[in-house]
A and B are shown apart, each in its own frame.
Chain A
Amino acid sequence: MSSLILTHTRYQMLEQMRIPISWVASAFFPAASMLAFVVPFAAADPVAATRATGSMMMIGAISAALIGLSITVSQDREQPWNHYLRTLPAGPLPRFAGRIFTSMAIMAVAVIPVLVIAALFTEAAITWPRLLLGIGALLAGSVPFMLIGLFLGFTLPSKAAIAVSQLLFFPMCILGGLFLPPQIMPDFVQALSPYVPSRGAVELVWSATTGSAADPAGLVMLAVWTVAAGVAAVWAYRRDEGRRFA
């Protein structure tokens, strides 16, 4: 089974690597947000700048996971090749895992320009172990978004997947406190915040990079979201029979 995961990961990496513009696109959005929101407003204070850098990395990861995966999966489903892949002797796991690892590779690359900007233009400070821990937290925290992306991709036609994933993306980022720190948000946003997966995910990143204590409610909800999204994604894969025109 593990060799099939490797096979599917390599296959999807090859496809991605031969279309280099997709990597540029994933790296652009977090880097641009970094320049627009973090450099002018939070550059002076080391802790605030480090936290904000973590938030921008998380925004890029959520975008790649939620929007990127839902669109590619739903578009693939409309290709005859996808029908063929489903006749091969493999269950959903190798393809799921292959997509998740490929998305993680894209995220890891998309993080590089954010880190460069943080190092050059802000007071953000971090040690190497904390940086690696932070990237680990980023990848772990993005798993529920990948699973939600897979779920949307398997249930929606591609045009709907584009719309729905964008509609989910911005509220997720705002409620999770990624654009602005949760403490300065309105009360109802603060009350809702622990219940969206983005909050738990970014808490994990903040904790890993700055050593702050993570909000336990957020972490519990992150775990709950991960399990629920995993169940939903497997269910969606099993009921999927390709696109139907009834």
Chain B
Amino acid sequence: MAVLARSAEVTRRYGDVVALDRVSLDIRAGELVGLLGPNGAGKSTLINLFVGLRRPTSGTVELFGGSPRDPLIRRHVGVTPQETGLPEVLRVAEIVDFVSAHFPDRVATPELLDRFGLGDLAKRQVGGLSGGQRRRLAVALAFAGRPKMVFLDEPTTGLDVEARRTLWDGVRSFHEEGGTVLLTSHYLEEIEALAQRVVVVGHGRVLADDTVQAVRDVVGVRRVSLVAGTLPELPGVLGVEHADGRTHLVTTDPDRLVVELVRSGTPFSGLEIRPTTLEEAFLAITSQETTSKETTSEETTSKESTHV
């Protein structure tokens, strides 16, 4: 399969802060890739490099075999703007017309608005839209030029459950028709629902790059759930959670944990061991990282300004 977006040994610095550290990543035609990572991990910087907003300090970034800074290359991609920055005085249809005028093969404005449930709002000024409506408009803009690949940076943040499902269906049908997607999200549920491949970044590096299933397995994190009173100190526990009278322990070594639990003589009942969700796996991967390196405040600041 053709590689649509590629970064090879890419490093990007902002002053002394290393936002990306020798990142190599290939995204092939037809893939739906989820990009995961805490704030300041380098997600936005990576997307900014792929869409031509920034240049790497070293290494190379390719988009459709060319440079992302070439406008002709960017005809093939769609990007979501941050909904907070949409021009307030313009009307919804005016913004869509303006954006789609940049693309040779465009979707008719009424059709695009209908697809994202904005048909009734075409004549409204953006300043009068709700947060959710702005978000949907922002996502719609990514699809205005019939792109081959879209970069969706947190497409459903701030949407209610129903609107989120509708948007997911939209992304899925784009993907089923052969479209390629790079998606970032705060909702791990979203990545699990949509993505086949997950790339976890932290501190500017790729920590894991595999299928959703494999990322869960690779960390081997399990969730041990039981009903018990006060538990003793147990080995390999990454996280503890109490819900509905049950205690949930996230661990890398459920066998040893259970052995130690039994040895301690603590009474318990209703023991369950399950594979983790992606969220738990993600927390496990990034918490291993955090212990070895502190997140710098500068990194968080640079994220503010680099957001697409």
Contacts and interface: CB of A to CB of B under 8 A. Distances in A.
A87 B52 contact: yes
Contact of B72 (A3, A87, A89): A89
B85 A87 contact: no
Given A88-B74, A246-B17, A83 B53 contact: yes
A246 B13 CA distance: 9
A16 to B, nearest CB: 9
Contacts of B55: 241
B90 A80 contact: no
Contacts, number: 93
Contact of A87 (B14, B94, B103, B308): B308
B98 A242 contact: no
A246 B14 contact: yes
A84 interface: yes
Contacts of A245: 14, 298, 301-302, 304-305
A246 B302 contact: yes
Interface string A89-108: 11100000000000000000
Interface in B67-102: 71-75, 77, 79-82, 84-87, 89-90, 94, 98-99, 101-102
B165 interface: no
B307 interface: yes
A14 B79 contact: no
B71 A89 contact: yes
Nearest to A8: B98
A19 interface: yes
A246 B15 contact: yes
B248 interface: no
Interface in B53-68: 53-55
Contact of B79 (A3, A82, A87, A244): A87
B306 interface: yes
Interface in A1-53: 3-4, 7, 10-11, 14-15, 18-19
A81 interface: yes
A79 interface: yes
Interface residues of B, number: 43
Contact of B81 (A3, A81, A89, A90): A81
A233 B147 CA distance: 31
Contact of A19 (B77, B81, B89): B89
Contacts of B285: none
Nearest to B303: A245
B63 to A, nearest CB: 11
B51 interface: yes
Nearest to B51: A87
B90 A14 contact: yes
A243 B14 CA distance: 12
- Which of A4, A10, A14, A87 has its CB near the most chain B CB atoms (within 10 A)? A87
Contacts of B102: 4, 7, 88-90
B136 to A, nearest CB: 15
A51 B121 CA distance: 52
Interface string A212-246: 00000000000000000000000000000111111
Contacts of B90: 11, 14-15, 18
Contacts of B307: 80, 83
Contacts of B84: 80
Contact of B103 (A19, A79, A83, A89): A89
B85 A86 contact: no
A14 to B, nearest CB: 6
B12 to A, nearest CB: 10
A89 B74 contact: yes
A80 B138 CA distance: 12
B81 A11 contact: no
A4 B101 contact: yes
6 contacts: A80-B84, A80-B307, A89-B72, A89-B73, A241-B54, A246-B298
